[in-house]
Amino acid sequence: LVKQVVFKISILPIIKIIAATFVHLFFTGIMLLVACFYGYYPTIYTIQLLYYAVCMFVLVLAISYTTCAVVIFFRDLQQLIGIVLQIGMWATPILWDIGMFHGSRIEVILKLNPLVYIVSGYRSSIYEQTWFYEDFYSTMYFWIFTVVIFGIGALIFKRLKPHFADIM
């Protein structure tokens, strides 16, 4: 398809992420229903879920641009990326609370994972009722990390784009 049809190839990762966003929105709705069942009804803080969904979208897009261009040239890298993402997901406090490690070095290391910001944000929007800007340093770290990864990904994608048709 890339060789025979002229279209913006950079749109392919965006299409894939938009498709996954619908699944994410569905499960966010289920999460809100379960929270209501346990007595945590939507408040004004729930609006932040849109902000955190945008954060997730931009982070995944940045990672996608960084990895999709390189995987075309190094096919085995796909397995390595899968392993790194699996470890990163287990290091994200989805089913456990990062407060268990309060004040330790482990907490600092775990907070380097940008998904910790998003998961903690979802929790604080529904259960703790705090605004995203109240944790200024985490917000700045997340956005700086995301912009740097996005810049690296855009640069890699732009440099390798002319070679895609030859390799595929």
- pLDDT, tens digit (0-9, with 9 covering 90-100), for 130-139: 888 888 999 9
Per-residue pLDDT at 29 exceeds 80:
yes
Per-residue CA distances from 15 to 8, 11, 122, 158, 163 (Å): 12, 6, 24, 18, 21
On whether the CB atoms of residues 138 and 117 are closer than 8 A, the answer is yes
pLDDT of residue 54: 94
What string of H, E and C letters represents the secondary structure of the chain? CCCCCCCCCCHHHHHHHHHHHHHHHHHHHHHHHHHHHCCCCCCHHHHHHHHHHHHHHHHHHHHHHHHHHHHHHCCCHHHHHHHHHHHHHHCCCCCCCHHHHCCCHHHHHHCCCHHHHHHHHHHHHHHHCCCHHHCHHHHHHHHHHHHHHHHHHHHHHHHHHHHHHHHC
In this prediction, residue 31 carries a pLDDT of: 92
Residue type, 111: K
Arithmetic mean of pLDDT over the chain: 86
Q: Which of 33-37, 105-109, 150-154 has the lowest mean pLDDT?
A: 105-109
Taking only the tens place, the pLDDT of each residue in 48-87 is 999 999 999 999 999 988 888 788 777 788 888 889 888 8
pLDDT per residue as tens digits for the range 31-53: 999 999 999 999 999 999 999 99
Give residue 7's pLDDT band: very low, low, confident or very high (50, 70, 90): low
| Distant-in-sequence, close-in-space partners of 161: CB < 8 Å, separation ≥ 6 | 9, 10, 69
Residues 22 and 90: their CA atoms lie apart, in Å, by 23
